[in-house]
A and B are shown apart, each in its own frame.
Chain A
Amino acid sequence: MVISAFLVMTGLYTFVLTPFFVVGKASLVSFFEFTPFLFTLFIPAITMKSIAEERSSGMIEILQTWPISDMSWVLGKFLGAYFLVSFAIVLTFIFPMCIAPFGAIDWGAIIGGYIGLFLLGAAYTALGLFASAWTSNQIIAFTLGFSLCFAFFIVGRSAVFLEGDLRFVAEFLSFEKRLSAISRGVLDTRDLVFFMTIVGVSLGLSTERLHLRRWR
């Protein structure tokens, strides 16, 4: 259901709500600009129940008796949710294929855009999972996940109003700035490592959270 809504909204925005055919360019700029915003809603909706539901239903007590480490458990949850997100992204491959017969697409920029979406999807999934690990209420998990994702996405825009080190931190943490570089078709190891560390830290902190809970 969530994936269907995501696909309808991206298709609607890219080809109907924006003047795609008036602009007349063989490019998916509007899609790559809109999707990260949509992800801030869509991904927390997928991850909100990952751990929170297990906690509210009491399943977590049983799961924690299984002979698997908390890290493996969190990683499994992450991969499950990330598979769904990736599947939704893969389904949008049909967009460039639709345009390709009508104009010479720069496939490099498209590949870059999609790599950016996969990295962003991974980071948001990990953040959503982290939010889910903190509460047994799915609504709170969603709200917390959305707030985290949105904050990371929007923080770069606050750089204009900040001074000194705070500005540097805001620009460093900005998902939007890093994504815009990748969406141009340029992949830099700095951006790659940044998104991977966001995933690593979020999953690590989620594991620690479960670890603590185990001994309550």
Chain B
Amino acid sequence: MNPSRKKLRRFTLVAVPLWLLNALLANVAVKETRVRWDFTSNQRHTISSESLDMLGSARSQISVKVFLPSALPPPYSDVVRAIRTGLMTFRAESPVPFIVDIYDPMDPALTDSEKADLDTNAEAYGLKKADLQLIRADQRVGLSVHFGLVIIYESRQAIVPLIQRASQFEYAFARTLQSVLNRDFETPKIVFSQGHGEPNVVESPLKAEFASLGVIESLKIDGTPIPRDVDVLVILGPKRSFNKSEQFAIDQFLMRGKSLVALLDYRQQSTVYPNILINSLTGLESLFESYGIRIETNQTFIDRINPSPAPIKRDQNGQIIYSSHPLYPRMRSPSPEHPAVANMETLVMPMASPMTRTAVPDQSLQIDAIFEGTEHSLLANKVDRFEPEKNMAPSKTDVSGAKMVAAMTVNGILKSAHTRDDQPITKHALPGSASPVSSPFLSSSIGDSRILVASSGTRLLAAGQNGLRFFKNAVAWASIDSNLVGIRARDRLPASLVKTTAWDRMAIRIVSMAGPILILFLFGWIFTRRKVVS
């Protein structure tokens, strides 16, 4: 071989690894000194001011024990990364020492005894093993491992609820941090009512969504008094009516200064004929009327101009087919600053009924409309079919639903619905029952009660992410824990498009496809012409 070629080959053999080494070094170097820019309008991917304010209230060292298995595949690896990054951000912003100890229960370097010690350590902090679903050798396998965070502040400690998505980290961590920083903070107990055909939220994956808000349990409402340690009662889409004694139990629960979130459905699809809608009442309407909210259960919001997608049916493969449906109207919030709304621009409220404010004598209540109809909203009197084509047909009896309210909140000192002229109907017994009550009758609430009523229930949760977000905000507001709602508010969906006509849509399509090509040809023409001229 020619000596020059030999020399060059040797040079290339050195140069190639050098290129790779330089690249590797650059990536390692930047890992330690990274800088990030958040371009989003509300800085939604940066630690929020709410978290910073709370962190600022710390007076002594915060210690975080983190049990993070490193060898997890996606999507858990994304969560692990979000936790690591988030903790580093909190540490950088903390005015007090912020100590983070990370343990890896799946570290292959650990011996069996070290792993056992780590498990004992985690159990000592009260951390339970999380059941994860992994894919190994093309098989789905379960893995039970300690995966979570414990925050220790002064003599208090708290476990951060299991984080299942990267976006949940900040809220879950800040909420737990709040509970240890504030000595008087008590974890609220939130119960989901059962016994009237409501979906069992506590037994569903939805429970995890509420875990960061407090202790979550189910409660059968059967007319017996609601336990005193319950702070928030959530009634989601009951299919059967609450009877008098159950209404009484709820009324007396509210009189103890507690809170109620009610997401109610007044149109139910028949199980035999899904296209037929059955009107249903919950029995709570008279209760709400005495607290200042009247629900017009015979009317339904319709939006024929700007309808939202609704699950219509399933195809042969079991995939849900969506179609624009006038019974899925978009609502707008007249009070976007309300914690339950938290700047949500719109909310799809399927088959909602309008509600109005009633005159309530001698009560200083704050009643707020939180979602109302838009200029496209109509109110239909008789809606008995779940067929988009049929619901699209205009009716002479339709009236404008603009500014008509579909969700309301009541806040203040309530008077019992079972009181007339300050004389309780029942002083010692439940209505319709001869049995004495164990607790004294309360004719007005002993503290500020909170009620949130929306006339769209289970379908609201299935009509987009904003539905679930609204539900969580509502429960947070009811549990008087709304100062961190702003964190979640930043995670809202992109803004909705305003009403577009067929011409608008056609114009957007034509301009977006033909426009760039025309510009391209224009440039080509100018370029060619200049070439010819020169």
Contacts and interface: CB of A to CB of B under 8 A. Distances in A.
Given A184-B40, A189-B30, A189-B35, A106 B495 contact: yes
Nearest to A211: B12
A108 B26 contact: no
Nearest to A197: B23
Nearest to A107: B41
Interface string B129-151: 00000011010000000000000
B308 interface: yes
Interface in A171-216: 171-172, 184-190, 193-194, 196-198, 200-201, 204-205, 208, 211-212, 215-216
Interface in A137-173: 156, 159-164, 167, 171-172
Interface string A100-117: 001111111101100000
A86 interface: no
Most chain A CB within a 10 A radius of its CB, from B20, B34, B136, B512: B512
A26 B45 contact: no
Contact of B500 (A102, A161, A189): A102
B274 to A, nearest CB: 21
A57 interface: no
A interface, size bucket: 35 or more
Contacts of B41: 106-108
Interface string B72-83: 011001000000
Contact of A215 (B4, B15, B38, B44): B4
Contacts of B27: 172, 190, 193-194, 197
Given A4-B520, A189-B34, A211-B8, A99 B515 contact: no
A216 B44 CA distance: 56
Given A184-B45, A205-B19, A208-B12, A12 B500 contact: no
A67 interface: no
Contact of B73 (A11, A23, A106, A160): A160
Given A26-B494, A102-B498, A103-B497, A108 B40 contact: yes
B304 to A, nearest CB: 15
Contacts of A63: none
B495 A188 contact: no
A24 B20 CA distance: 46
A38 interface: no
A103 B15 contact: no
Given A22-B324, A102-B500, A159 B77 contact: yes
B273 interface: no
B309 A94 contact: no
B15 to A, nearest CB: 5
Interface stretch (B260-268, B282-290, B503-511): B503-511
B185 interface: no
Interface residues of B, number: 60
A16 interface: yes
A14 B496 contact: no
A24 B496 contact: yes
Contacts of A102: 497-498, 500, 504, 508
Contacts of A164: 71, 108
A37 interface: no
A189 B306 CA distance: 42
B513 A11 contact: yes
A55 B8 CA distance: 20
A185 B45 contact: yes
A108 B504 CA distance: 25
B36 A186 contact: yes
Contacts of A185: 38-40, 44-45
A91 interface: yes
Contact of A187 (B12, B20, B37, B135): B37
Contact of A188 (B22, B23, B34): B34
A3 interface: yes
Given A8-B517, A187-B37, A26 B497 contact: yes
A62 interface: no
B26 A193 contact: yes
B495 A12 contact: no
Given A187-B36, A200-B19, A160 B74 contact: yes
A7 interface: yes
A33 B410 CA distance: 43
26 contacts: A24-B306, A25-B497, A94-B511, A98-B511, A98-B512, A99-B497, A102-B497, A103-B497, A104-B495, A106-B40, A106-B494, A108-B40, A109-B40, A163-B71, A164-B71, A188-B36, A194-B27, A197-B22, A197-B26, A197-B27, A204-B15, A205-B16, A211-B8, A212-B9, A212-B12, A215-B8
The 9 closest A-B pairs by CB, nearest first: A108-B39, A11-B513, A27-B494, A91-B516, A197-B23, A204-B19, A108-B40, A185-B40, A104-B495
Interface of A: 3-4, 7-8, 11-12, 14-16, 19, 21-27, 29, 91-92, 94-95, 98-99, 102-109, 111-112, 156, 159-164, 167, 171-172, 184-190, 193-194, 196-198, 200-201, 204-205, 208, 211-212, 215-216
